[in-house]
A = this chain, B = another copy of it.
Amino acid sequence: MDEQRFEDRLQAFIEEIKQEDQMTEKQRSILEAAIKLFASKGFHASSTSEIAREAGVAEGTIFRHYKTKKDILIAAVAPVIVKIAAPYILKDIRTITEARAEKSFADIVTELYRNRLSLLEANEKHFRILIQEAFFHEELRETLLQTVAKEGKQIIQRFVEQRIEAGELRPLPPEVLMRIVLSLLLGMVAFKYVVGKEEFASLPEEEQIDLTVDILMNGISQR
């Protein structure tokens, strides 16, 4: 249906990204302008002429560096998947598997939340584009799942099972556990950016995280 598979194109970009410092001044400004516009208006609502104007570049220059408009989108989104998401996920998994018994599950989750939140904050625009575009683009969704979810799933699953056997966690289905840990993380992010920074955030972020982890571990009911 589509001209080319998303994965293939993404793979092609991985090489380029590794030497991304060789980018021209103009090329970088095109990408920056595109990210800014895509994040605030969406991909289809941003025209190439607008990107050119924002970047201070002739429209032709855009197509010297990016074959199509869609290639700009991929170039904007690929580093998030390739450089940020995947390695960090693997790092998370490593710290999880390495921390055999010394660290408590609560500490591990707290650390995970802290990392993720600062990561999301630093790359807010990129993630907006990613989430927004993943909404329609099934290819992207699959690539994301393939890269992010499935690789770590089994390792995390085994780790969780160990903690259950050790008596630290209740005997719950690992995928339900993962869903809830992720839901609480995404919920914090969503409330921060959708609901607004001031109105609902009465607590500092540090405490917000600690409380969330506490509730995750112990629940909300009084005993």
Using a CB–CB cutoff of 8 Å, the interface residues on chain A facing chain B are 40-42, 44-45, 105-106, 128, 131-132, 134-136, 141, 145, 149, 164, 167-170, 172-173, 175-177, 179-180, 182-184, 186-188, 190-191, 194-195, 200, 202-203, 208, 211-212, 215-222
Contact = CB atoms under 8 A, between A and B. Distances in A.
A219 B222 contact: no
Contacts of A41: 136
Given A187-B183, A190-B186, A136 B45 contact: yes
Given A180-B212, A183-B183, A173 B195 contact: no
Say whether chain A's binding surface is mostly helix, strand, loop, or mixed. Answer: helix
A145 B194 CA distance: 9
Nearest to A208: B176
Contact of A220 (B202, B216, B222): B216
B194 A141 contact: yes
Given A44-B45, A176-B211, A186-B190, A170 B200 contact: no
Contacts of A141: 194
A135 B136 contact: no
A126 B45 CA distance: 20
A219 B220 CA distance: 7
A211 B42 contact: no
A173 B203 CA distance: 9
A180 B188 CA distance: 8
A200 B184 contact: no
B221 A105 contact: yes
A176 B212 contact: yes
Nearest to A167: B222
